[in-house]
């Protein structure tokens, strides 16, 4: 892998304008979705608290701005929102709550070569991206880039093993072996692997929160950059 050639991920091409709008409404329909959205926010809130309530947060990828109201709960916080898809940014900007208008600044950039100088934000808030990246080298490249851009902490969510859902998924995959799955762009990363990758990218783990311990795969890690 050469540092100059930006890494492109397969899944990131699907976010055109219509898809982006659909994505914006996705988390607002149905009771189960609402409940899971509520739990997502709770996890994010706890992770931010663990990170010491950072003042300048880079929301990457921000998607349709789903976490902006949450990030804006701290009145003094400034949010830098970045996404690889200009359509997502456009939809997010259009649907942005007016109260946040002055505090969210959007930025079109890739997570692998963030268009910011070294140590320019307090924290990088990276929800639901790492589980899309299968190649450990790509994950490490991204974590290293996070290490460069953050001044203090990184919050990442990913799918880890050691729970019922991951076990069922592995069984399903074993049964379907040979046939390509239709949802082949999301991956479970063993917790031990993820943690050793964090360490080799120069992060210490401050703590983690599980979506539903023992059952769900989602886990949110709060990492602190080591000098």
Residues that bind another protein (CB under 8 A): 2-5, 52-53, 55-56, 74-78, 80, 105, 113, 116-122, 144-145, 148, 151-152
- Closer to another protein at the Cβ: 117 or 182? 117
Q: 16: which 2 tokens?
A: 């055109």
Q: Which residues of 73-108 are buried (b: 16+ CB within 10 A; e: fewer)?
A: ebeebbbbbbbbbebbbbbbeeebeeebeebbebbe
- Closer to another protein at the Cβ: 20 or 155? 155
Residue 81 Cβ, how far from another protein at the closest point, in Å? 11
- Closer to another protein at the Cβ: 119 or 212? 119
Residue 140 Cβ, how far from another protein at the closest point, in Å? 12
- Closer to another protein at the Cβ: 54 or 61? 54
**Radius of gyration (C-alpha) of the chain in whole angstroms:** 17
- Closer to another protein at the Cβ: 75 or 98? 75
Q: How far apart are CA 6 and CA 151, in angstroms?
A: 23
| Whole-number Cα distances in Å, 149 to 55, 117, 166, 196, 225 | 15, 6, 32, 20, 10
Residue 136 Cβ, how far from another protein at the closest point, in Å? 18
Q: Which residue has the tokens 């080591």?
A: 226
CB contact at 8 A, 23 and 89: no
Residue 7 Cβ, how far from another protein at the closest point, in Å? 12
Residue 153 Cβ, how far from another protein at the closest point, in Å? 9
CB contact at 8 A, 42 and 210: no
């Amino acid at each position: 892998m050469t540092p100059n050639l930006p890494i492109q991920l397969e899944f990131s091409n699907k976010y055109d304008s219509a898809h982006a709008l659909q994505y914006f409404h996705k988390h607002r329909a149905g009771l189960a979705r609402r409940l899971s959205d509520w739990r997502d926010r709770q996890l994010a809130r706890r992770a931010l608290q663990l990170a010491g309530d950072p003042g300048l947060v880079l929301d990457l990828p921000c998607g349709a701005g789903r976490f902006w109201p949450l990030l804006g709960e701290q009145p003094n916080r400034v949010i830098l929102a970045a996404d690889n898809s200009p359509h997502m940014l456009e939809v997010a900007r259009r649907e942005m709550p007016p109260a946040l208008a002055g505090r969210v600044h959007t930025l079109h950039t890739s997570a692998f070569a963030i268009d910011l100088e070294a140590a320019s934000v307090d924290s990088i808030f990276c929800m639901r991206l790492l589980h899309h990246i299968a190649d450990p080298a790509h994950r490490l490249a991204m974590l290293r880039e996070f290490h460069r851009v953050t001044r203090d902490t990184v919050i990442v969510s990913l799918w880890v093993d050691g729970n019922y859902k991951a076990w069922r998924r592995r069984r399903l995959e074993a049964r379907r072996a040979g046939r390509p799955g239709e949802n082949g762009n999301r991956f479970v990363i063993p917790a031990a692997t993820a943690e050793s990758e964090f360490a080799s990218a120069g992060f210490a783990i401050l703590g983690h929160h599980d979506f539903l311990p023992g059952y769900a795969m989602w886990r949110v890690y709060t990492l602190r950059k080591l000098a």
